[in-house]
Amino acid sequence: MHIQWYPGHMTKTRRMMEETISLVDIVIELVDARIPYSSKNPDLDELAKNKHRILLMNKSDLADPAATEIWTKYFEEKGFHVIEMNAVKGTGMADVTNAARALMKDKIEKLRARGRINVPIRAMIAGIPNVGKSTFINKYVGKTTAKTGDKPGVTRGKQWIKLKKDFELLDTPGILWPKFEDQQVGLKLAFTGAINDDILDAQTLATAFINHMMVVNPDCIRKRYNIEFDTIAEPHDVLRQIAEARGFKLKGDEPDLERASKILMDEYRGGKLGRLTLELPEDINDMLAEKEAREKEKAQTDKARKAEYKKRKK
């Protein structure tokens, strides 16, 4: 399955972020704790390379706690201030303001020494679609200021939100990046709902998810649907078992795979399959090593072709 989703408004969003990044001191990025690497926009690292960075591991209540701890250490070693968060319940909210003030302490003290007392801390809030950004802002501010929804792409324009006299937040629309270098990243984004379901075939997505879980944690599917299968089973056959276990039938007593597919993905996203993290740093290291090997092989092939071309010209 080849996944790519980059609506036109995302190009406009990136341009707007490039134009306004100079106005902020801190970039606060939300990622999905179930897929911390895949839900982290690599473009932001370049865009915010000279800014303080706070990384919010949202939906941590849906992720494996041990895996979240591993990811927290991973990102802290890369210079991020990491906060585990559940935006729906408000867990971790107070830590955001404290972290921002701590990061800006030296600058604030220097400004006060010059007589500038009420200069606010300005932060940009960023993240991919459907990662919980609007829910976080609404909870953080204490009133509904940003639209929320269960479909990616709800927020479409930037808006400044004044939290207190010393803190201002620039909200931005959810943004992906133009090309997924690894299709596993695209799949994980689709699993969690960061990519619009309307562009994907439900059965194809569900069988891809089953295939992934056979490696990560097959027991979560076995226990949820009270079915049995081995890890070399065809994902399509597992999907049929899910449909039969739930009694989803079409005319002619055929299993309703479409309905089973939608139920499976809904229940995963709702945490009913358990607290699941779909990737670990070691998986990413393997992926990056494979990418490096592919790029090296391509460079060698290109070099050989150029040499052959020059030889023929002579």
What are the C-alpha distances in Å from 179 to residues 16, 43, 120, 173?
19, 11, 36, 18
277 is in an annotated binding site: no
Model confidence, pTM: 0.80
Q: Where do the domains of the chain lie?
A: 8-171, 201-269
The CATH homologous superfamily to which domain 8-171 belongs is P-loop containing nucleotide triphosphate hydrolases (3.40.50.300)
What band does 16 get if pLDDT is binned at 50, 70 and 90?
Answer: confident
132 is in an annotated binding site: yes
The edge-to-edge listing of strands for the beta sheet with 26-32 is 81-84, 52-58, 26-32, 121-127, 167-171, 159-164
Strands 26-32 and 81-84, bridge-based pairing:
unpaired
From CA 248, how far away is CA 306, in angstroms rounded?
58
134 is in an annotated binding site: yes
311 is in an annotated binding site: no
Q: Extract the tokens encoding 262.
A: 């939608």
Q: What count of other Cβ atoms lies within 10 Å of the Cβ of residue 128?
A: 26
Can you tell me which residue has the tokens 């303080």? 52
pLDDT, tens digit (0-9, with 9 covering 90-100), for 138-151 = 888 876 454 444 44
Strands 159-164 and 167-171, bridge-based pairing:
antiparallel
pLDDT, tens digit (0-9, with 9 covering 90-100), for 268-296 = 999 999 999 999 998 876 666 565 665 56
What band does 10 get if pLDDT is binned at 50, 70 and 90?
Answer: low
pLDDT, tens digit (0-9, with 9 covering 90-100), for 56-97 = 999 999 999 999 999 999 999 999 999 999 999 988 988 998
130 is in an annotated binding site: yes
59 is in an annotated binding site: yes
pLDDT, tens digit (0-9, with 9 covering 90-100), for 23-62 = 899 999 999 999 999 999 888 888 888 899 999 999 999 9
296 is in an annotated binding site: no
22 is in an annotated binding site: no
From CA 71, how far away is CA 53, in angstroms rounded?
16
